[in-house]
Structure 1
Amino acid sequence: MQKFLRSALFALYMVFVFLPFCGFVALTSWMSLRERYDFVTRWNNRHTLRVFERLLGIRYRVIGRENIPAQPAVYLAKHQSAWETLAFAEFLPPAAYVAKRELLRIPFFGWGMARMPIVTIDRAAGKDALAQVVDQGRALMAEGYSVVIFPEGTRTAVGTSRRYKAGGAKLAVAAGALAVPVAHNAGEFWRRNAFVKEPGEIIVSIGPGIPTAGRSAEQVNAEVEAWIEGEMLRLFPHHYRPAASRAEPLRAES
């Protein structure tokens, strides 16, 4: 019951504090993009992330901070919950997220998101969507932003995976940037579509940057997948079947 009440209070916070703040961000046309990014991330880190910890009991620990490059990079991460879309900004350098264009139409949240550095994908564009990621991503990286992309394309439960799409790797190759893999277990405490959040410590592991010069996107993507899935199995073996191969973790149903 206590977890339910805490989760209910968190839902009220999101509706009556977080979403109105997103609406305010949509009106900040007088700010430059970097000023807006800095303002939003400072507010988010001081308020929303503190609510995660103090109200929901969700803490986090980062290993591999030394692997964060000094220059803009492409971060390819597991996607298990809404937690990482809000928390990564506290320990990663300024970054744009890759998101579906339709998300920008969501009242308040989407309106605010549209004012941030973002790479949008038009799903109706088919193969041209990949070119959108590369073009927009390179432009933002030239302005000093890194890019965060979830190569599996959707949220997955801990202990499962989906096919890794090569869009993030293609951007890294086109930009001549490092591809940095990121593993975490946020879904253990913040399950997809679950109202009740579980208290606990999320572990985020940032891997060594993968060089892209002279390599194909497919090669880079395969190395990213191998590192992330191997790290997930190493850190969270209790979420995988004992008989599961280290190279082949459980895969979600399509």
Structure 2
Amino acid sequence: MSLSLDTPVPEPPAQPPRPPRPPRRRGRTTLLIATAAVLGVLAGAGAGYQIQYLRPDTPLPSLSQPKLKQPAGAAPSAKPLTAAQDTLVTYDSDLRKLLLKKPKGAKDVTDLFTSDGWMDLYDYADTFKDEKYMFSELNRNGFRRLAAADWTSGNWESYTYKYTEIRLIQFRDETEMFAADHLTDQQDYMSESDFAGNHGKAIPGSGDGVAWVYNKPWTKAGYYDKYEARALARHGNIVMDIWYSSSKPISMKTIQSLAQRQLERL
């Protein structure tokens, strides 16, 4: 029999609903297999330990390195250090003796700023802009002593005036390197426009020494122009601080040479 498009197609008879499947329970077989696996591992470990325990000790192979020979007798006595090699001779002696001597013809003006070549902490801190802060900083950071030397030569009228100021600042450095910190603190601000205005140049032969020639002279109405230079370096627990001023422009070679000659004495 043929069916047209308008003839309804009979639907299949409805199937009765399938009963829901109950959740699967864990059978005893799985539990027995897991228990047997655990017991097997324990038994294997115990058997391995028993076998290793019953084996005789196996001696270790001999070392390939031959036995070192020990020197006989007492070690030779060390030669005493010379004064140049013994840093304690330098650091604990009269610090003033390490200062450069004034050149021939120069005028010594050290006594204007020191007491017999020694400058106390208060007078040294007073040379800084914030003297109270510097006094406190140095006092709590192991300041020990300061030896100074000052001299002048020439005169302003003939534009031959020169002034040299040397400071050897020694720190205790018993637990920390305060000398290195002081050197770094002083070097850090020298490139600012209120000071040298440049990064300076290394002092030949020094590990961390730097010399600066100021970009601009110091000027003030009614006064001669003053050109300035500075050198900072460190040897052990001694910081070398040199100021040099002149009525004429200063060359980098001049301040570097002065710093080198002072460092050679430390």
TM-score, scaled to structure 1: 0.31
Instruction: Give 1 or 2 for the bigger CA radius of gyration.
Output: 2
Bigger proportion of residues as helix: 1
Which has the higher relative contact order, 1 or 2, with Cα contacts under 8 A spaced 6 or more apart? 1
TM-score, scaled to structure 2: 0.30
